[in-house]
Structure 1
């Protein structure tokens, strides 16, 4: 047990966890959303119950909003930053210990781009962003097609399958691994590490979950240090090799960027594909419409992102005293932004609980956030999901779920770990998505 990890857990999760347990016993709605089984199984009922509390309301120690326009405003406002407030003022000895033995790079600590503001954010994001321009993503289309078709070929004809472990998870991990120059043989290891580290984005996780995440973060860090050394000696044709040879980022920044890209490039898309499968199979009329009008597939993916986003919530912290939505927020106040709630705001999306692949403003969702921290890989995730879902449904037109899907035990990165299904008879060819 490393002392620095104990201090970090107490400061980042332990105190919040204790407060959340008290609030859960009192029936607090926000605690139920972010700490109870309802928040995993059916967050939207709780969101609608809380929406009536106003555009911005207090759920100590946080402020909370489910309002689309307010979420978008805060995400784009430079008066708000991504740094979380200090819950516990660590003693000088503990602070010196953390400085001497820093935690390994992970998504919730600087220099991760998720947790730094301007100007450092721009300096780190700019060299990485080149790999995710529309032109760069377009060049990956053939590879996404090949990987998806290989996975579909491997699925049984008219037999049982787990559509997460055998399909939805495999598409994005294959693509991001290639983009970072990782060997194919290491993909399963990355999937395990991703499962361990993902809970860090939740509030008030247990000590056991936190320590497992830190241990896996250390393993990822050691792996990346060795990988970066190999790329310095023999760079390849991948984004990480390009970042290494340009020399614009330090080794720690390279590790942080690679860790974030590996996680974000996989986690969002696997949840998007998994949720898309369920929404389409549960709404056969919409799926029939897609078969009749395949040009609607891109908008269908936007509607999936709107109605059930893979990332449910994010947070911003006031960098100064500020007046917003009729409330005075002090410097350091944190606002929890419910992206899932914003995406079902009836003021923006009429009949927000209705799944409609023809919705004309579906793309106005905040499923990929907004502002300077908008998801770098949004275009890639859209392209992967559009092709994967269309190809799956065209290859197995009688696909059906066989038992209840298994939810991942996460509140922020919301999705499924298992989708047991029966494929039905295979159609020998399908029309490639445009």
Structure 2
């Protein structure tokens, strides 16, 4: 029998995420709903699904180690630091363009545009692909959910076929004429099959902007709803990096993840048998009062805000966490420096997802001082 355990305790979540006795959840795990497992068996056409191997997101060592080692250099502290000027240029340009829009949508016109521009440049993808990349990301995001409708699933699979075709052709071109970019690193390595190359190229693309779009949108809502915190940031701009950490803690883009016990594990006075599933509430852990006093208070000065688990932890900790933090700090500061009296023009429209917390549309009124 396969059991399912759930925890929102910070220390337990962190322990399980970092414990090698637990692995990522395979798509055929018996604790998953039967319709989900049936869909995988019927529709796995070798497409680059983020939620299925050989995506780095759902593989364990040694494969995970190989994949991450190949692309890790592009997301090192040194590599990300070199992007600061370019991120600021893109953010300033987007902020400037908002003024000419009578009713801007801060998701489509701002939050989505910055991270997709930067990850496309990192991967060496052309600027005229941005709208297509965003479409693919939007349709593929539900594949990380459980319980999605058949219509949503089929739409995602159809778009994944486009993703596969595009990256097959693009990687063929890079094989013939390599460049100095991350995807060229993938094709130069003869350890990887083409399916592994395509799957992880697609993962780098989606992971490079999806959660950052959500983080920026969530942050805008939080800051506009807490004008006292905006006043603090205006007076003390050095708090912006910590404000991003508090946004991630208070309203992170991913609510839950899971792990499977590889062997019998005794943890927190509980025997978890091999094969049992442990669901980890990241949102709950980030609101654990034992770690974050008065957790439902949004406080950009919170001293330990950066201890959140919004980017997971352990070997599967988000590869692009440094990039997301830098983009969040630069973009949100640029937006509110230019429009300190920005206000939401009605309630933002939430994305119809359960595990990924995001907004689909966010109309605003701008006020230029």
TM-score (norm 1): 0.80
Distance 2:3 2:336 in 1: 45
Superposed counterparts of 1:44-59, under 5 Å? none
Corresponding position of 1:210: 153
Distance 1:280 1:150 in 2: 21
Superposed counterparts of 1:334-353, under 5 Å? 334-353=277-296
Return closer, same or farther for 1:89/1:418 CA change in 2, 3 Å cut-off. closer
Distance 2:78 2:49 in 1: 29
Mean CA deviation greater in 229-238 or 274-283: 229-238
Corresponding position of 1:78: 20
The answer (yes or no) to whether the contact 2:111–2:216 under 8 Å persists in 1 is: yes
Please state if 1:295 is matched with 2:238: yes
Distance 1:158 1:117 in 2: 46
- Which of 70, 81, 88 is equivalent to 1:138? 81
**Unaligned segments of structure 1, at least 5 residues:** 1-59, 428-434
Superposed counterparts of 1:13-412, under 5 Å? 62-84=4-26, 85-86=29-30, 102-157=45-100, 159-412=102-355
- Which of 346, 359, 362 is equivalent to 1:416? 359
The answer (yes or no) to whether the contact 2:71–2:185 under 8 Å persists in 1 is: no
The answer (yes or no) to whether the contact 2:171–2:187 under 8 Å persists in 1 is: yes
Distance 1:88 1:363 in 2: 32
**Unaligned segments of structure 2, at least 5 residues:** none
Which consecutive segments of 4 or more residues in structure 1 shift more than 6 A? none
Paired residues, number: 362
**Cα offset for 1:158?**
8.3
**Cα offset for 1:88?**
8.3
Distance 1:155 1:249 in 2: 43
Distance 2:4 2:228 in 1: 41
**Cα offset for 1:89?**
12
Mean CA deviation greater in 237-246 or 62-71: 237-246
TM-score (norm 2): 0.94
Corresponding position of 1:49: none
Return closer, same or farther for 1:88/1:242 CA change in 2, 3 Å cut-off. closer
Return closer, same or farther for 1:127/1:285 CA change in 2, 3 Å cut-off. same
Task: Give the aligned CA root-mean-square deviation in angstroms.
Answer: 2.0
**Cα offset for 1:264?**
0.8
The answer (yes or no) to whether the contact 2:115–2:212 under 8 Å persists in 1 is: yes
Return closer, same or farther for 1:254/1:357 CA change in 2, 3 Å cut-off. same
SS of match in other structure, 1:317: strand
Return closer, same or farther for 1:88/1:165 CA change in 2, 3 Å cut-off. closer
Corresponding position of 1:16: none
Distance 2:155 2:46 in 1: 13
SS of match in other structure, 1:367: coil
The Cα offsets for residues 236-261 of structure 1, whole Å up to 9 and x where unpaired, read as 23211222224342211111111111
